[in-house]
Amino acid sequence: MASGNLSPRQKMINLMYLVFISMLAMNMSKEVLSAFGFMNEKLADNNVTATVKNKEILANLATKAGEQPEKYSVLFDKAKQVDKLSKEFDDYLNAKKVLLLKGQEDIKNYEAMDQSAVVDEHFFKNNTFTKAGQEFLDNISGYKNSVIKLIGENSPLVASINKRFDTSDQKIKDAIQKQPWLNNRYEGFPLISTVTNLTSMQTDIKTTQSEIFGSLLGGQLESDVSLTNFEAIVVADKTAFFQGEKFTGKIYLGKKDPTLKADLVEIGGSKLPESSIKEGQVLLDFPAGNVGEHNIKGKFVFTENGEAIEIPISSSYAVIPTPNSAVISADKMNVVYRGVPNPMTISIPGIADNLVKATAGGLRKVAGSGKYIMTPSSGREVKINVSGKLQNGKTVSSSQTFRIKDIPSPQGTVRKQSGVVKMPKTSLGNSTVGAELPDFDFDLKLSTTGFTLKVPGQGAVVVRGNKMNSSAKKAIAKAKRGDVITIFDVKSTLVGNTTYKIKNASPVSVEIQ
C-alpha cells in the first residue's frame, strides 16, 4: 500500500488508512473478547441455579426412596451415580479453568485475555496433543460413556448426550477435509474463548443431570398412571341383602401397585403383620364374629415428604346364620346370676346394631356391637324383649326368658385349701381363712369378714376378719397332735358389691400334725 510510484502525500494517506483499519480491528477484537467474558459470567450464574435445582431433585428422590424403597431405591441409586460422575467431571473442568487463568491479574479483564499461547502450550505440542490434552479428551469421553452405560443404550437421552459431548473430527472448508475436535475448538483461540467453552461444557453437565433425573422420575410417573395398573372393584352398599331387595353398590377403578407399602396398617386398634401385605393389597384374615353387623375400623399410615399421612379405613359387614344349620340351645341353661353383671350379646341377623333395641329390668347397653350387661335384682325370672327395624322399614321382634339364680355357697379355705387340711398348729395360727367359688362361671373375688373356730375339748372362738386373733391362737396352742380343728360359719362379702349377701361358706377341717 505504501510502495510503488506513489507521492509522499499518497503514501502518508495510505499509511493512515492502514492504521485506521488496524484500530477498527483492535476495537472489534476487544468487543468480541468482552462478549465472550459476559457470556461466561451468564453461563456460570445459570450453572449455580442448575446445581441447586439438581440437588433439590436428588433430595426429593432420596426422600421417596426412604418412603417407598421398592419403587424408588433403584432410581435413587442410579441418580446418585450420575451425580457423582457429574461432580467429578465438573470439578475437573473447574480446576482446568483455574489452571489456565493462573497469572491473570484481573480475571474479569476480558480484553486482556486475547492470547492463545497458554491454551496452545497446555493442549498441543509438535502437531500432536500433550498429556493434558489427551487427558481432557479422555475425561469428556469417559463421562459420556459412563452416563450412557448407567441409563442404558436404549434411553431416548442417548442421542442428545452423544451430541453434547461429541469429540469426533470436525469438517472444515469444503466439508471434506477434517480436523481433530480439540484443534478445531481450542487451538489458536483466545484464552477467554477457552474459558467460556469450558463453562459451557459445565452447563452441558448440569443439563445432562437434569434430563436424567427428570427421565427417572418421569418414567416412574408414567408407569404409575398407566391404565394397565388399574382394575375394576365392585363395592356393595352393604354386605348382606334380604330376599326381594335390590342390589345397590358402586364400581371403582383401583390402582395396583405392588411396590407401595404402608408404614402401618391398623385394623381394630391392632397392627397387621407385614406378611398380610402382598402385591400392594392388604389381606384380611380374622374371625367373622357373632351374628349381626360388625364394623371394620382402622387406618393406613404412609410417609410422604417426611410427614405421616393417615388414610382412614371404615367399612362394615353382617354375619348371618349359616343356611340349613341346626340351632340348638339348652333351655334350662338360660340363667343369669343375681349380684353380678352378666355379659350378654343381643342381635338380629342382617340388622345393624344401631337399629336393634333390647329392653328388660336390669339390662343396659355397653360398648361393642350387640353388647349388653344384665344385672338382675328381685324375682326368679327376667324377660328380655328385642326388636329391630329392617331396611324396608318393617319391625321384627322376639323375646327370651332367663331364670335368675343366686350366687352359690362358697367353700371355706385355709391357706387356699378346702375340705380336710393337715398342718402343724403353729402354721394354723398364722394362716389366712378364705372363701372361694370353685368352677363358678364368673371370676368373683370374696373378702372374708369373720369365722368361728372350734378346738376339741374347748369352747368355740368367734373371729372377725380373716386372721386368727389372740383367743383363737390360745385355743390352737392347746390342741394335741391328731386333733381336728373345725373352722365354720365363714362369712364373706362380694368385692365390688358389698350390698349383696353371700351365703356362709362350707366348713374346713384342720388335722394337727
CA-CA-CA-CA torsion sign (350, 353, 356, 358): positive
pLDDT, tens digit, 9 for 90 and up, residues 498-513: 888 989 999 999 999 8
pTM for the full predicted model: 0.46
pLDDT at position 349 is 75
> How much is the pLDDT for 252?
60
DSSP SS3 for 363: strand
Mean pLDDT of all residues in 300-323:
66
- Name the residue with higher pLDDT: 466 or 6: 466
pLDDT above 60 for 4 = no
- Overall average pLDDT of the 399-423 stretch: 91
**Residue that the C-alpha cell 476480558 belongs to:** 110
Average pLDDT (353-357) is 87
What are φ and ψ of residue 197, in 5° steps?
-60, -40
What number of H helices and E strands is found in the chain?
9, 27
CA gap 440, 434 in Å, rounded? 16
The average confidence (pLDDT) of the chain is: 81
pLDDT of residue 497: 85
Average pLDDT over residues 146-169: 92
Q: What pLDDT band is residue 298 in, cutting at 50, 70 and 90?
A: confident
**Closest by CA position to 190, among listed 258, 100, 280, 274:** 100
HEC string for 197-213: HHHHHHHHHHHHHHHHH
Q: In which band, very low, low, confident or very high, does the pLDDT at 25 lie, cut at 50, 70 and 90? A: very low
* Residue 455 binned pLDDT confidence (cut-offs 50, 70, 90): very high
- In this prediction, residue 262 carries a pLDDT of 61
Q: CA 52, CA 59: separation in Å to the nearest integer?
A: 11
Find the angle CA(246)-CA(249)-CA(251) to the nearest 5 degrees.
Answer: 140
Between 35-39, 385-389, 445-449, the lowest mean confidence (pLDDT) is in: 35-39
- Give the model confidence (pLDDT) of 208-266 as tens digits: 999 888 888 775 544 443 444 455 565 666 666 655 566 676 766 555 555 556 666 77
Predicted confidence (pLDDT) per residue in 414-426, tens digit: 988 999 999 998 8
pLDDT at 227: 44
- pLDDT value at 493 more than 80: yes
**75 has which bridge partners?**
none
Mean pLDDT for 198-208 is 93
